[in-house]
Amino acid sequence: MDLSQKLQEIFESQKDVIKKVASLISESVEELKERALKEKKSLEEVIEEVLQSVVQKSKKEGTMGMPLLGDKFPSIEVQTTHGPMKLPEDLKGKWTVLFSHPADFTPVCTTEFVSFQKHKSEFDAINTQLIGLSIDQVFSHIKWIEWIKEKLDVEIEFPIIAATDTLAMEIGMVHPNKGTNTVRAVFIIDPEGTVRTILYYPQEIGRNIPEIIRAVKALQKSDAEGVATPANWPENELIGDKVIVPPATDCETAAKRPKEYTCYDWWFCYKEA
């Protein structure tokens, strides 16, 4: 069995990956040196190529867990409280907040769903759709949202995916050390189906919904104006609601920056949003 096959097995197991990979590379260093010499490359380049090859193969075949930032959201067909959906095809044209919860009929999850619904008009205003998910049957989802309507007088208007164990594992929403239920995951997906933000919360901590809204707005601002947003934007302690201009990458531009923008230094300039 060659190095690529051995690495493939490690990634598929997803247990102590870093430790096992480091050990395997150490054991295979002579093989890697020989390949580097043959291909006239550095040892580091060869190791990087092998790792990237295995990672891409694993992701393509769906054997590697969660999608990463910049990845297209995996193509999946799901059953929801609003009927069947095909992701990410059905998401195109809008921003999406896909969030998982550990289980229906649990107190923290109930408070989160009420809060998501209470803020739904704010998500609508920024062209963002909400989709919930847990490893519960759709019948359970329906009964739970009926309970929320009856007992709390809140009507849940967004769809909830009835996920299987396999689906939740494939998109990284099950963390074995935190039990068999889905953790509180949040994927912010752009209108082209690309994953732009990933957040994870443990079962014992409810999410802050305004922060998720802030993150979507910040991504939209960054995309529209080619800028970055500071900490706590739009209420940053240094520059308020202004946005950060990308640092200069050459001497000429660096010299011009203080004349064009307000700057602490040429590498830290900002402007009105």
Which domains does the chain carry?
Answer: 3-61 (no CATH), 76-215 (3.40.30.10), 226-271 (3.30.1020.10)
Q: Which residue has the tokens 């297209």?
A: 72
Q: Which residues contact 147 (CB under 8 A, 6 or more apart)?
A: 105
Look up the pTM and report it.
0.73
Write the pLDDT tens digit of every residue in 172-226: 666 666 555 677 889 999 999 999 999 998 888 999 999 999 999 999 999 999 9
Catalytically annotated residues: 109
Write the pLDDT tens digit of every residue in 50-94: 766 765 555 454 444 568 888 888 888 899 999 999 988 898 899
Instruction: Count Cα neighbours of 211 within 13 Å in the Cβ-side half-sphere.
Output: 10
Of 91, 10, 107, the closest CA to residue 57 belongs to: 10
Q: Which residue has the tokens 């190791």?
A: 47
Neighbours of 95 (CB within 10 A): 19
> Quick check: helix, strand or coil at residue 93?
coil
Torsion of CA 175, 17, 87, 81, to 10 degrees: -10
> Quick check: helix, strand or coil at residue 52?
helix
DSSP labels, 102-129: S-SS-HHHHHHHHHHHHTHHHHHHTTEE
